[in-house]
Amino acid sequence: MREDSRFESTGFGERLTRVETEKEGFNLFDESDEELLLRAPLADRMRPRSLDEFVGQEHILGEEKLLRIVLEKGELTSAIFWGPPGTGKTTLARIIARETGCRFVSFSAVTAGIREIKEVIRIAIDERKFNRRRTILFVDEIHRFNKAQQDVFLPYVEDGTIVLIGATTENPSFEVITALLSRSKVFTLNPLTSENVAVIVKRALDDKERGLGKYEATVEEEALAHIVIFSNGDARIALNGIEMAVLTTPPGADGKRVITLAIAEEAMQKRALRYDMDGEEHYNIISALHKSMRGSDPDASLYWLARMLEGGEDPLYIARRLVRFASEDIGNADPMALVLAVAAKEAVHFVGMPEANVALAQTVTYLACAPKSNAVYTAYEEAATDVKENEAQPVPMFLRNAPTPLMKELGYGKDYIYPHDKASGFVPISYLPDNLRGKSYYKPKGAGLEGEILRRIEGWRKERNKKDGESS
């Protein structure tokens, strides 16, 4: 590391900033101080030093994706990285500084105030003036800054003195002032997939320079899966877990260390449950959850939900199944079921695990206790069958739209009666093709709101049938 990489003296202590200026790659710590580097947590030692080493976030960093294009063209812009912990927000900001040759200054909104911000900006102004080099100012937990603190950045972001990169785990729409948002590009970082985390852990095990390679550790498949599952997409948690497992496991007679499931459980402080996310158990338990809700048993439903979540199941998978259940097994008997199920999906995105488990539990108990009807499901199946098995007749002329004079001349929309012109809001005619006239797909069961829907629909069908009889 070059000598001008240093903790910058700004008059308020070393805790504030870390300046990175070398071109050959960097870590959080000065690599010339090997003892300090070795004492750093594995998650810090294994920080990727380039985009090629970075794992995950392909939706913004893959080929032809926006952030990669911006970096390749050197067109730096202020940005907000929004995503859960351990997804690479800080690391990505450091890589951007390296790739663009910018000076890098980092501090946390938890410990810094306006005085510190102004001092950093003063130095950035000098750096740009005398060294013709831009400063990337990385602000971790930017949502912790109040409006007045965020306002300080505005003129310097606008005139290019600093390139601001803020990191937040909260929705920036609510936590970052509008003026900063309008001058920044928001990039959403997703939780790392299980495959991403497994790659990161294996890389750390093999790396003899910065990782755990010198310990010659091997990890049993079940142990690796356990660490990956209970990291919940957070690479830092996974690396802390594997580091603890390796360091607390004595070498065998051959000098090698074997990380078993029991060791992984101890390191992660989580007991492995019998649950296979890709095998039969996965399908057995989701089936048990679905049938327990259909059977109106909230207690069993909660149990099977907990089995899945505590076993490491993807909460979004569960949320998707709840959305399907709300329409398939409840439908219009209680339309709020679908609203709540979709809200649970949003809660999983917004809050993340483990906190979102309560939103899923609330939804599961509501769905289990709601009135049940599969009338919407069977109605669609019947309609789809007719589509597949019957002649696809043209749309009746009176149902067609007529946006041009020629279409009006051809009779498009002719004889259409606008229901709102009637006091009852109803016109007793059939809107089906002639070959399907009189078909009834939707047959409400009478449970919950469908009781009222059934009353209405029977009245409408009676009037339509009477009208058809008169016409014939």
**Average confidence (pLDDT) over 319-338:** 94
Residue 471: per-residue pLDDT: 59
**Average confidence (pLDDT) over 286-307:** 91
State yes or no: pLDDT of 121 exceeds 70.
Answer: yes
Residue 2: per-residue pLDDT: 37
Mean residue pLDDT across the chain: 82
Residues 434, 436, 439, 442, Cα dihedral to 10°: -110
Residue 38: per-residue pLDDT: 59
Token look-up 């794992």 returns: 55
Residue 456: per-residue pLDDT: 86
State yes or no: pLDDT of 440 exceeds 50.
Answer: yes
**Average confidence (pLDDT) over 60-79:** 83
Residue 397: per-residue pLDDT: 86
**Average confidence (pLDDT) over 15-40:** 44
Give, in degrees to the nearest 5, the angle at Cα 446 between 444 and 452.
Answer: 90
Residue 130: per-residue pLDDT: 85
State yes or no: pLDDT of 13 exceeds 50.
Answer: no
State yes or no: pLDDT of 266 exceeds 80.
Answer: yes
> What do you get for the CA distance between the two ends of the chain, in Å?
92
State yes or no: pLDDT of 415 exceeds 80.
Answer: yes
Identify the band that residue 15 occupies on the pLDDT scale cut at 50, 70 and 90.
very low
pLDDT above 90: percentage of residues in the chain: 22
Residue 405: per-residue pLDDT: 84
Residue 463: both structure tokens together: 């009037």
Residue 326: per-residue pLDDT: 95
State yes or no: pLDDT of 153 exceeds 80.
Answer: yes
Identify the band that residue 117 occupies on the pLDDT scale cut at 50, 70 and 90.
confident
Long-range CB contact pairs, 289-292, < 8 A, 24+:
289/318, 289/321, 289/364, 290/321, 290/325, 290/329, 292/368
Residue 61 and residue 66: Cα distance in Å, rounded? 7
Residue 3: per-residue pLDDT: 36
State yes or no: pLDDT of 472 exceeds 60.
Answer: no
Residue 154 and residue 176: Cα distance in Å, rounded? 12
Token look-up 């980092």 returns: 106
Element (H, E) at 304: helix 298-310
State yes or no: pLDDT of 458 exceeds 80.
Answer: yes
Residue 111: per-residue pLDDT: 73
State yes or no: pLDDT of 36 exceeds 80.
Answer: no
Distances in Å between the Cα of 326 and the Cα atoms of 57, 329, 330, 347 are 32, 6, 5, 17
Identify the band that residue 265 occupies on the pLDDT scale cut at 50, 70 and 90.
confident
Lowest mean pLDDT among 173-187, 250-264, 277-291, 306-320: 277-291
Identify the band that residue 372 occupies on the pLDDT scale cut at 50, 70 and 90.
very high
CA 329 vs. chain centroid, Å, equals: 27
Helices and strands, number each (H, E), in the chain = 22, 7
Residue 301 and residue 471: Cα distance in Å, rounded? 52
Higher pLDDT, 429 or 216: 216
Residue 352: per-residue pLDDT: 83
**Average confidence (pLDDT) over 10-15:** 32
Residue 257: per-residue pLDDT: 92
Lowest mean pLDDT among 131-140, 274-283, 361-370, 441-450: 274-283
Residue 254: both structure tokens together: 């051959």
Global pTM value: 0.53
pLDDT above 70: percentage of residues in the chain: 88
Identify the band that residue 169 occupies on the pLDDT scale cut at 50, 70 and 90.
confident
Higher pLDDT, 438 or 123: 123
Identify the band that residue 114 occupies on the pLDDT scale cut at 50, 70 and 90.
confident
